């Protein structure tokens, strides 16, 4: 169960309105790696932990914090939209600044949300749960989390460079630091799980049931063999259970596939038509 | 540029048709972590590498291999659908097996694809590029790749346990082994990049510009402090640049947000109505 | 900012596992009118309120409660999935119960979420922010909220009738009661706003700027005039500013539209081809 | 069955082309509350009415009218796009007006639709049936309809203020008036149903089966108690069957959830790993 | 503008309820090639015709007819859902027929639409305007229409074979016949436009501006040269302006791409890290 | 199985960066008829061919070529994005060119993809498999392919006119020529199949089972009879098995639909409320 307090986790006050930056900032609120994604991802992972203890607690701690980040970004975006001018071509023609705003702002901020933040990304795609993952396997999921924090911090850093507003930069510097923490945190948790389980997910599938002969092989399916120079092509593999090898000219292991005909009630192209390889029909006959 | 050879990378022949398992197997073809996702993710990452060398080559190698995995799964699914019975309630009533098939198979396999595989997951959601990521930052993206291979291997292992068909299990044991390789490979690549760049993405953002005072802090936003017991709560952080600390009762750093009123041309609730906190209207007046 | 406590708002314990019902119950967790929708809708509305006071507070109260409902449903679904059997056609053939489960359960509960709840509806569509609304106009939005609670309670009542599990029914009776409260609450809030603003949203658009002559007219565009019998076809309109009237045979007010040709650089069908109404080409010429 | 006449319901002629406004106007054609949404929503509701009479007739009347509104908007948008200039950065650099158009117009109007209207919103999201609702319960659905007309009129009013084109404003004043009618109409219909059924949807679920003790309670989950001042916190509730009460410090009614472990064939994190709360592994071990 | 009459274009009465077939039949109502798709596609094409005359008229005729088909299918589906039993695992365990229904029916038909048809396909994906096309070029669009009617008739024929209900079969035989007409009709219209414009769309782009040397070449990018046997590999091309030729071993015409480094404010992998091809880091260093 | 070579199929080098055109060009990479769509469509069709021979080979040839087109466009877009300036309103205010770029470029090119191409269209919608079709019936599918190449060439021609960059134009002239080939190729293949099967898809459904009396009828559902003038309204139909006829005033063939009431456990509007056509309630009673 949750409780809400009115204060923000950190300040969210721009120096001045800027509807173009409001649009851009939506990315880290409602985009693929925005705060809605991490909040929902951590909470769903937490609720699915089939046991108690520190991992569930850590997920709930962090997921609950991300709710506060959604709130900070929603507040900041509303303030960046303060008094956003709107208009048509005639308006744009008179004032190049307004022309730029009309081009660069999300028109839904005026028409749909009434100058409020939206659960959408910087091009207006609405947030979707396609973005998140909770698999029940924590090592897999903590890797998803580390990725999310890596992509997220990267995007916030890019946004930091795109604005000159000191109030915005101040808030972004908070989010960047929190993402530093969260990357470090998931790395620490991943290391702990890897040390308990080994690095390959899932660790409990019997190795004897996989095709071991290709479990450490780099197949060179693309021309050039620069990839042979990497640490993934020779030496002991990170799981400590095999040695990498490199196949420069990989050949197929399987056959040419040949499918059975479909039954007539499916109304596919009839086999007689399909397999007539000889050309018996004049090509320009209509 | 690409070339195609007719042989499959590995065999894809079930012992017998099974439209229920065909439906389930769609998950690792067209689902969030199916083969379409990894093929497209690695190729888009490869095409975006702004430099040549082993990382681009590795991405193209692996992305091209994943195209072959799509092909193997598409072939296997078509064969599992061979002669799939279809029917209505009357048919189901006569035969419990057909009833089970009608329930467990994807009706689009009969109606839409004509007993062919679909670019969709196990519940029929069509594949979407929402699933993939290519950010231009390889450390971030290799973490996305390691996550994709972890989730993918996990799903294939689960599917391996859900079938008794030796032909299917044989093919899945190939895919599981390749995912073992790919997890090892991305781990090796991540370690190399981390050793060159440090572990926090992006490594080139000046640390002085982030709020360092909260860059190593675990805020305990959820009741209970089991999370204080983990390696993410004390000791040196994995980036080697800070020491974790734990805040058991975190207080807000920001203020209560107060937004300015919207201009009249937005037609939001007028400020006079919005802020009248005293209740002056009988509640049952319509 | 938010805090989380470990206890659930209310019990979420089924008598026994039931993966079919787990699938159905997903509707009110991650469907169009599920708990994710109301939580996100109320919170986004709350964060966009451009003023302080009771409306914002009410939205934050209720939105925060809905987060607890997501949690209860996620917990209940995980428990309904306890030990869910999975399998293929061979398994189904041996046991009609398992056949029914294979048909009626969401295969992603086994393959993707590892027996955890998903942010998806009862047919597996992932939750999308397309479902929610926050417009900045509270009267409009409270109507959206009343609709959401009406659809939501309706769906929970239907689910209540679909199960015999007393533990599930106990939890649903809680949710149904809360939806009773929330419908009453939004009705009370709507009445207050309507009494301050009038019933037509937005209340601040000047009436003189709309075509008043058709602002109270029911046009009978469908055969039969049963619709003339309703309270919407005669008498004073609810806004008290017009009298309903009924037009049995509505004629168009506009002209036949005729569009200008497109410029050549758009490569549409050329005007010469498009507008040649006389048929000059033998129909069977290929 | 439907018939089409060539004349528009009302005029749809702008004074001059304006591709920026064409883009913005798409919102009320193909957006969440655009004319496609209301047409499809009313028609699907009408087709699902399990009985004849005035409600079905009213839905078919209004749904059929909304088809005419789609047509008017499609015509208006095509005309606003007449001769839209298109170009690249070089073109934009030479002429600030064209620069503004390139920014503010939807490029798909040139590339995809050939200067025609699209079934999409103002940021290019294609229309989806996620937007509509037809539940079989008319009181619930009429509330959905009232919300749709409220949001729709709000959006059209905002667009009215964003243009100076008298032809566009003339058409919008028609749509605004029709939305006035439709809001009044659904309010009248809602009142009739509420008077027959009571205000809580569904009215036929036995009250004794819900947890009556929390059916009229406002839980104060967010700090501050401004919400206690509203008509939803005390006095008789609108359904006339209970008295609102306010709980300032709500405690949980449920327990801390504890989930059973998953079976091994699901390959989640093993219980031994999951529940080891003591930290036995050096955090920097890789 | 549209008018609606109450009678259906054709009968839509099943012999008996069948919720499984109702689910399957949704495909041709709300699927990719269902009646919503063709109705919306033809109407949007019609509204975008920039000229008057027979093509626009034909589109409006056919689009308006498709609205009647949506109505027939919505009616049929509602009737197939009459009294659909719903339940949980306990119910399924007692009765294999109900088990089959629970598996094969769409749970949203009970929970969401209250036994009404939904704007969705046979697996529950909601209809999306991603399915339709209106480009302003009628030859292109009539090809889209011919495809839609081909896919649509194919799906209806498959459904015809999946049911034994004479009432359903009667209605489907109507839809199949109408699709026969619509295929013939679009073929006739395509032939007329092709005879006026030539077969390559768009016909007005100057041939001199395309790379003529590869405009009639079949590149054999896949192993084997069975494709050389077809009428597309030799002889005069259908456009009468070139002769097909076949390249058995196609070589690239372009260079190896090499992208410039990104600027530092994008925070991609730094060039120094990216292009270090020599492996200088021990692979197992963490 | 696939192999990749490093060279592009054709050159992809612009004269200069242009982030606005990069955004527009995304349409033919990741839009509805972009190169991802045709690659995936042809490959899925090829993998589903239930027989060997020239059709499967042709599909694999062309699908594999389209992978190379994705690569060319991804490379071109990355180069058009070289050094793209980014910024906020303050930046835009100082420089109208940058203002135009901020409006016309996709902000995700900076924030999300790090100046790389995205699997998305020109307004930022991510690619979805909703765009593609593979039905198992090749005549149907080749029509889908001809449509895709027609829409695709149309879009590339429009883009050709929107840029002055000679490098971009050079690459587009290649793609336009390849689309000329592909249109010709699918026409040739369609003609061959039509001559073997007849023109109506599917050709194997018994004609006696469709309602022949309406299989060649044009119903005039829209006012005006310009459509009677076309080759689709009289004369022998293209399938050679019927004569077109025209019905100027089409009447319904079906009855007024009347649905049975829903059972009580569905909680729809009760029949007593639904069918009370007499108005017994004062309209203003709340």
Contact in structure between C142 and C189 (CB atoms under 8 Å) = yes
Cβ distance E100 to B103 less than 8 Å, yes or no, reads yes
Please tell me the predicted confidence (pLDDT) of residue A284. Answer: 42
Q: How far is A173 from chain B (nearest CA, A)?
A: 4
Please tell me the predicted confidence (pLDDT) of residue C137. Answer: 98
Q: Which residues pair with F120 in a beta bridge?
A: F126
- Confidence band, pLDDT 50/70/90 cuts, at residue F49: very high
Q: Of chain B residues 205-224, which have a CB less than 8 A from chain A?
A: 205, 209-222, 224
Considering only alpha carbons, which residue of chain C is nearest residue B264? C204
pLDDT in tens, E132-173: 999 999 999 999 999 999 999 999 999 999 999 999 999 999
Q: Which residues in chain C are classed under CATH 3.30.1530.10? A: 210-286
Token couple for C78: 């995980």
ipTM confidence score: 0.94
Token couple for B166: 């030796």
Domain spanning C210-286: CATH 3.30.1530.10: yes
State the average pLDDT over residues D227-255.
Answer: 96
Name the fold adopted by B19-197: Ferritin (1.20.1260)
State the average pLDDT over residues A264-275.
Answer: 92
- Confidence band, pLDDT 50/70/90 cuts, at residue C285: very low
Contact in structure between B64 and A222 (CB atoms under 8 Å) = yes
* Mutation site for F-interface testing, chosen from E56, E108, E156, E177 by largest number of F Cβ within 10 Å: E177
Cβ distance A7 to B254 less than 8 Å, yes or no, reads yes
Inform me whether the pLDDT recorded for E211 exceeds 60. Answer: yes
- Confidence band, pLDDT 50/70/90 cuts, at residue D285: very low
Cβ distance A53 to D275 less than 8 Å, yes or no, reads yes
Please tell me the predicted confidence (pLDDT) of residue B52. Answer: 79
Q: Does A194 touch chain D (CB under 8 A)?
A: yes
Chains that touch C (3 or more CB pairs under 8 A): A, B, D, E, F
Greatest distance between any 2 Cα atoms in chain E: 79
Beta strands of chain A (E only): which ranges? Answer: 2-4, 217-219, 245-247
Considering only alpha carbons, which residue of chain F is nearest residue A248? F3
Using H for helix, E for strand and C for coil, what is the string for chain D? CEEECCCCCCCCCCCCCCHHHHHHHCHHHHCCCCHHHHHHHHHHHHHHCCCCCHHHHHHHHHHHHHHHHHHHHHHHHHHHCCCCCCCCHHHHHHCHHHHHHHHHCCHHHHHCCCCCCCCECCCCCECEHHHCCCCCCHHHHHHHHHHHHHHHHHHHHHHHHCCCCHHHHHHHHHHHHHHHHHHHHHHHHHHHHHHHHCCCCCCCCCHHHCCHHHCCEEECCECCCHHHHCCCCCCECCCCCCECEEECCCCCCCCCCCCCCCCHHHCCCCHHHHCCCCCCCCCCCC
Average per-residue pLDDT for chain D: 93
pLDDT in tens, F31-41: 999 999 999 99
Cβ distance B117 to F7 less than 8 Å, yes or no, reads no
Q: Which residues in chain F are classed under CATH 3.30.1530.10? A: 208-286
Listed as ranges, residues in chain B with pLDDT below 50 are 278-286
Chain F residues touching C277 at Cβ < 8 A: 226, 229
Chain Cα centroid distance, residue B174: 21
Contact in structure between B26 and B109 (CB atoms under 8 Å) = no
Q: Does D202 touch chain E (CB under 8 A)?
A: no
Residue numbers in the known binding site of B are 35, 57, 61, 66, 69, 149, 182, 220, 222, 224
* Mutation site for B-interface testing, chosen from A222, A260, A263, A265 by largest number of B Cβ within 10 Å: A222
What is the H or E stretch that residue B3 is in?
strand B2-4
Q: How far is F280 from chain E (nearest CA, A)?
A: 25
- Confidence band, pLDDT 50/70/90 cuts, at residue F282: very low
3 state SS of F1: coil
- DSSP-derived pairing of the beta strands D2-4 and E2-4: antiparallel
Cβ distance D157 to B236 less than 8 Å, yes or no, reads no
Q: Does C238 touch chain F (CB under 8 A)?
A: yes
- Confidence band, pLDDT 50/70/90 cuts, at residue C98: confident
Q: Does E164 touch chain B (CB under 8 A)?
A: yes
Residues 6+ apart with CB under 8 A from D200: C153, C180, C183, C184, D239
Length of chain B: 286
Q: What is the DSSP string of E143-189?
A: HHHHHHHHHHHHHHHHHHHT---HHHHHHHHHHHHHHHHHHHHHHHH
Average per-residue pLDDT for chain C: 94
pLDDT in tens, A166-214: 999 999 999 999 999 999 999 999 999 999 999 999 999 999 999 999 9
Inform me whether the pLDDT recorded for D210 exceeds 90. Answer: yes
Cβ distance F5 to B5 less than 8 Å, yes or no, reads no
Q: A97: burial class by Cβ within 10 Å (0-12, 13-18, 19+)?
A: middle
Please tell me the predicted confidence (pLDDT) of residue F283. Answer: 41
Please tell me the predicted confidence (pLDDT) of residue C277. Answer: 55
Please tell me the predicted confidence (pLDDT) of residue F205. Answer: 97
Token couple for E248: 């058995």
Inform me whether the pLDDT recorded for E226 exceeds 60. Answer: yes
Query: What is the C-alpha separation between E25 and D173, in angstroms, rounded?
Result: 41
The phi and psi torsions of F134 (rounded to 5 degrees) equal: -150, 110
Task: Out of C102, C124, C202, name the one closest to residue B20 (CB).
Answer: C102
State the average pLDDT over residues C236-263.
Answer: 96
Contact in structure between C124 and B23 (CB atoms under 8 Å) = no
The CATH number assigned to the domain with range D208-286 reads 3.30.1530.10
Q: Which residues in chain A are classed under CATH 3.30.1530.10? A: 206-286
Please tell me the predicted confidence (pLDDT) of residue A208. Answer: 97
State the average pLDDT over residues F45-58.
Answer: 94
Please tell me the predicted confidence (pLDDT) of residue B277. Answer: 55
Residues 6+ apart with CB under 8 A from D129: D40, E30, E36, E118, E119, E120, E126, E127, E128
Please tell me the predicted confidence (pLDDT) of residue E277. Answer: 55
Contact in structure between B105 and B19 (CB atoms under 8 Å) = yes
Query: What is the C-alpha separation between D167 and D25, in angstroms, rounded?
Result: 13
- Confidence band, pLDDT 50/70/90 cuts, at residue D280: very low
The CATH number assigned to the domain with range E207-286 reads 3.30.1530.10
- Residue ranges of alpha helices (H) inside chain B are 19-25, 27-30, 35-48, 54-80, 89-94, 96-104, 107-111, 138-161, 166-197, 271-274
Residue A109 counted as an annotated binding residue:
no
Q: Of chain A residues 88-127, which have a CB less than 8 A from chain B?
A: 110, 114-115
- Confidence band, pLDDT 50/70/90 cuts, at residue D105: very high
Chain A residues touching E265 at Cβ < 8 A: 158, 161-162
Q: Does F130 touch chain A (CB under 8 A)?
A: no
Q: How many CA atoms lie within 13 A of E240 on its CB side?
A: 8
Residue A234 counted as an annotated binding residue:
no
Contact in structure between E127 and D128 (CB atoms under 8 Å) = yes
Residues 6+ apart with CB under 8 A from D26: D34, D77, D106, D117, D118, D120, D121, D122
Cβ atoms < 10 Å from Cβ of D213: 11
Task: Out of F262, F264, F279, name the one closest to residue D50 (CB).
Answer: F262
Q: Does B239 touch chain E (CB under 8 A)?
A: no
Inform me whether the pLDDT recorded for E104 exceeds 80. Answer: yes
Whose CA is closest to F214, among E176, E64, E11, E59?
A: E176
* Mutation site for E-interface testing, chosen from D42, D48, D68, D76 by largest number of E Cβ within 10 Å: D48
State the average pLDDT over residues F67-95.
Answer: 90
Q: Which residues in chain D are classed under CATH 1.20.1260.10? A: 19-197
Please tell me the predicted confidence (pLDDT) of residue C91. Answer: 81
Please tell me the predicted confidence (pLDDT) of residue D282. Answer: 43
Q: Which residue is associated with the tokens 């528009």?
A: D8
Token couple for B128: 């979407």
DSSP state of B243: B
Q: Does F236 touch chain A (CB under 8 A)?
A: no
Residues 6+ apart with CB under 8 A from D278: B229
Q: Which residue is associated with the tokens 């706003």?
A: C193
Query: What is the C-alpha separation between C216 and D177, in angstroms, rounded?
Result: 8
Query: What is the C-alpha separation between C203 and C213, in angstroms, rounded?
Result: 18
Q: Which residues in chain E are classed under CATH 3.30.1530.10? A: 207-286
Name the fold adopted by A206-286: manganese catalase, domain 2, chain A (3.30.1530)
Token couple for F150: 């027609």
Q: D280: burial class by Cβ within 10 Å (0-12, 13-18, 19+)?
A: exposed
DSSP state of F120: B
Range with lowest mean pLDDT among B264-273, C264-273, D142-151, F276-285: F276-285
The phi and psi torsions of C149 (rounded to 5 degrees) equal: -70, -30
């Amino acid at each position: 169960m949750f409780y809400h307090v009115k204060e923000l986790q950190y300040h969210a006050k721009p120096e001045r309105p800027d509807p173009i930056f409001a649009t851009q900032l939506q990315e880290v609120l409602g985009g693929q790696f925005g705060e809605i994604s991490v909040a929902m991802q951590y909470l769903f992972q937490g609720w699915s932990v089939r046991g108690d203890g520190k991992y569930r607690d850590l997920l709930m701690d962090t997921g609950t914090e991300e709710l506060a980040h959604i709130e900070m970004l929603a507040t900041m975006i509303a303030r960046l939209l303060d008094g956003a001018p709107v208009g048509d071509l005639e308006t744009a023609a008179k004032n190049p600044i307004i022309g730029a705003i009309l081009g660069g702002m999300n028109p839904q901020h005026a028409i749909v949300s009434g100058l409020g933040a939206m659960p959408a990304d910087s091009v207006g795609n609405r947030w979707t749960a396609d973005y998140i993952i909770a698999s029940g396997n924590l090592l897999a999921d903590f890797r998803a989390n580390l990725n999310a924090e890596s992509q997220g911090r990267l995007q916030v850093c890019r946004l930091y460079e795109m604005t000159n507003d000191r109030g915005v930069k101040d808030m972004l510097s908070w989010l960047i630091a929190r993402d530093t923490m969260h990357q470090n945190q998931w790395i620490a948790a991943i290391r702990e799980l890897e040390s308990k389980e080994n690095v390959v997910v899932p660790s409990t599938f019997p190795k004897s049931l996989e095709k071991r002969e290709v479990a450490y092989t780099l197949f060179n399916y693309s021309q050039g063999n620069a990839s042979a120079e990497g640490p993934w092509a020779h030496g002991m593999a990170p799981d400590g259970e095999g040695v990498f090898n490199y196949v420069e000219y990989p050949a197929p292991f399987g056959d040419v596939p040949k499918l059975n005909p479909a039954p007539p009630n499916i109304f596919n192209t009839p086999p007689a038509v399909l397999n007539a390889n000889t050309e018996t029909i004049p090509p320009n006959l209509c």
